[in-house]
């Protein structure tokens, strides 16, 4: 075979395998449900809190937003679910898309209708209502009583503790039960995506694990997509597929959860494995070098 013919066939076979690889990659890449593009959030017209945050959440995955106090995790979730107005905050730059639709101007109830429900920080339950009454408040968008009953049974199947405590006033249940009640109430609306703010807050490690196990179950069995804000980096990385680390209103690092869990800087700053005083990413030059490697 002449040299140029061999060369041509080699080139076309490389092109074919590249095409196949691209197709394969496309098939393997799940659809993106949520896209946050460079958003800026200002509270009270003057306090700039989010300074260009971008993230995306693929369908059927658990994505974690990590970071310490005041990093901007809750603000990011509030921006997505349009709960900023009540806090005198607004998105002043960037865009937020749910399955390709711009959602910045939708109300929280429009979002519930599109399958997006937020479980707020601090496990807000109605203290004077029973666990079951609390759960029923989450089903207000459902059309039939049969659907309400079906969803209630589903919540009880995932949270057997709630079934036992169904008649107890929420105020007299434990922190873990209240967190479960808050998540259960969100599930009553049959969401496809749950924004979960700091589920570990104030709970004993064993209960945190129990809550995350249920999140994993819901993700795998009900295909619920989760965006979880967490200070508990260790636990979140154990259960999430992907993580974004925030500091002072910016995403400073992101990656597959397993890569983040093995990253030296993450171990040192967030998993308490480095010894010595905890630093922050912005103080460390080596972080920038590593970030280039990860990009």
Ligand X SMILES: Nc1ncnc2c1ncn2[C@@H]1O[C@H](COP(=O)(O)OP(=O)(O)OP(=O)(O)O)[C@@H](O)[C@H]1O
Query: Using CB under 6 A as the criterion, which residues of the chain lie in contact with ligand X when the complex forms?
Result: 43-44, 47, 49, 67, 69-75, 87, 89, 121, 198, 231
Residue 72: name its binding partner from Mg ion, ligand X, none (Cβ under 5 to 8 Å by kind). ligand X
134 binds Mg ion (CB under 5 A): no
Binding residue count for Mg ion, defined by CB under 5 A: 3
Q: How far is the CB of 253 from ligand X (least distance, A)?
A: 15
Residue 69: name its binding partner from Mg ion, ligand X, none (Cβ under 5 to 8 Å by kind). ligand X
| Non-local CB neighbours of 292 within 8 Å, separated by 6+ positions | none
Residue 87: name its binding partner from Mg ion, ligand X, none (Cβ under 5 to 8 Å by kind). ligand X
Interaction with Mg ion in 104-133: which residues (CB under 5 A)? Answer: 121
74 binds Mg ion (CB under 5 A): yes
Residue 234: name its binding partner from Mg ion, ligand X, none (Cβ under 5 to 8 Å by kind). none
200 binds Mg ion (CB under 5 A): no
If the CB atoms of residues 49 and 214 are measured against ligand X, the closer one turns out to be 49
Q: How far is the CB of 47 from ligand X (least distance, A)?
A: 5
Tell me how far apart the alpha carbons of residues 191 and 71 are, in angstroms, rounded to a whole number. 27
If the CB atoms of residues 65 and 152 are measured against Mg ion, the closer one turns out to be 65
* Interacting residues with Mg ion (CB under 5 A): 73-74, 121
């Amino acid at each position: 075979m002449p040299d140029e013919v061999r060369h041509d066939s080699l080139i076309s076979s490389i092109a074919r395998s590249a095409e196949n690889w691209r197709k394969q990659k496309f098939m393997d890449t799940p659809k993106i449900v949520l896209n946050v593009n460079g958003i800026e959030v200002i509270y009270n017209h003057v306090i700039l809190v989010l300074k260009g945050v971008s993230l995306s959440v693929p369908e059927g995955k658990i994505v974690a937003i990590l970071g310490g106090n005041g990093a901007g995790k809750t603000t990011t979730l509030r921006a997505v679910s349009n709960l900023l107005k009540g806090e005198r905050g607004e998105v002043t730059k960037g865009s937020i898309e749910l399955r390709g639709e711009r959602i910045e101007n939708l109300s929280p109830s429009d979002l519930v209708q599109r399958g997006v429900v937020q479980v707020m920080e601090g496990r807000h339950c109605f203290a004077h209502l029973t666990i079951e009454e609390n759960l029923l408040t989450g089903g207000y968008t459902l059309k039939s009583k049969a659907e309400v009953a079906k969803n209630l049974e589903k919540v009880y199947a995932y949270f057997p503790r709630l079934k036992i405590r169904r008649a107890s006033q929420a105020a007299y249940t434990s922190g873990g039960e209240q967190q479960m009640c808050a998540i259960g109430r969100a599930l009553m609306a049959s969401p496809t995506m749950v924004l979960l703010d700091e589920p570990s807050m104030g709970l004993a490690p064993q209960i945190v694990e129990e809550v995350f196990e249920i999140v994993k179950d819901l993700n795998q069995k009900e295909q619920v997509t989760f965006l979880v804000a967490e200070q508990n980096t260790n636990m979140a990385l154990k259960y999430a597929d992907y993580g974004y680390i925030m500091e002072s209103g910016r995403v400073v690092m992101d990656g597959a959860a397993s890569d983040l869990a093995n990253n030296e800087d993450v171990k040192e700053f967030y998993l308490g494995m480095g010894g010595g005083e905890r630093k922050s990413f912005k103080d460390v030059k080596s972080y920038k070098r590593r970030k280039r490697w990860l990009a």
